[in-house]
Amino acid sequence: MPASWRASRTINSKWQDLKPGDRVDDYGFSEEGYFDVVDVKPGEHLIYRSNRYGASFTWMLMLHGLPSAADGTPSTVVHLRFRGRIAATGLWQRFLVAGGHFMDSIFSWPVLAGPAERAEGHTQ
């Protein structure tokens, strides 16, 4: 994965004050390569919306704090919820859904690793 696509391993100040209506660039595969911020609740969730290829999608990053380890190290579970409304039907819809599952299996771990590290206050 190119370095420009990787999740940040440090807290970046430019992303700390996101508010509904802000636009965040995505990888730039097309002119639709951005996310609009829908809702932010610091320490709890961040919701993005995007319209791509005639379909509307939302992504929600949710943090769920767990009891700290015996040594006091915090532990956090990061959940990624994705929802999309695909206009395609039939075989084409099944192909798009299968492709989405495949892409999720490749990209979810690296996408969620950075927020998990930052939420727990340590980096590699």
**Segments making up each domain of the chain, as ranges:** 3-119
Q: What DSSP string describes 2-58?
A: -GGGSPPSS--GGGTT--TT-EEE---SSTT-EEEEEEEETTTEEEEEEEETTEEEE
Beta strands at 23-25 and 55-66: parallel, antiparallel or unpaired = unpaired
Q: What is the pLDDT of residue 21?
A: 95
| Domain at 3-119: CATH code | 3.30.530
Q: What is the pLDDT of residue 74?
A: 79
Q: What's the CA gap between 40 and 30, in Å, rounded?
A: 26
Whether 27 has a pLDDT exceeding 70, the answer reads no
pLDDT tier, 9 (very low <50, low <70, confident <90, very high otherwise): low
Q: What is the pLDDT of residue 2?
A: 65
Global pTM?
A: 0.67
**Backbone angles phi and psi of 100, in degrees to 5:** -65, -40
Whether 1 has a pLDDT exceeding 70, the answer reads no
Whether 29 has a pLDDT exceeding 70, the answer reads no
Can you tell me which residue has the tokens 């999740």?
A: 7
Write out pLDDT tens, residues 45-97: 999 998 877 778 898 989 888 888 888 887 888 888 888 877 778 898 888 78
Mean pLDDT of the chain: 79
Whether 103 has a pLDDT exceeding 60, the answer reads yes
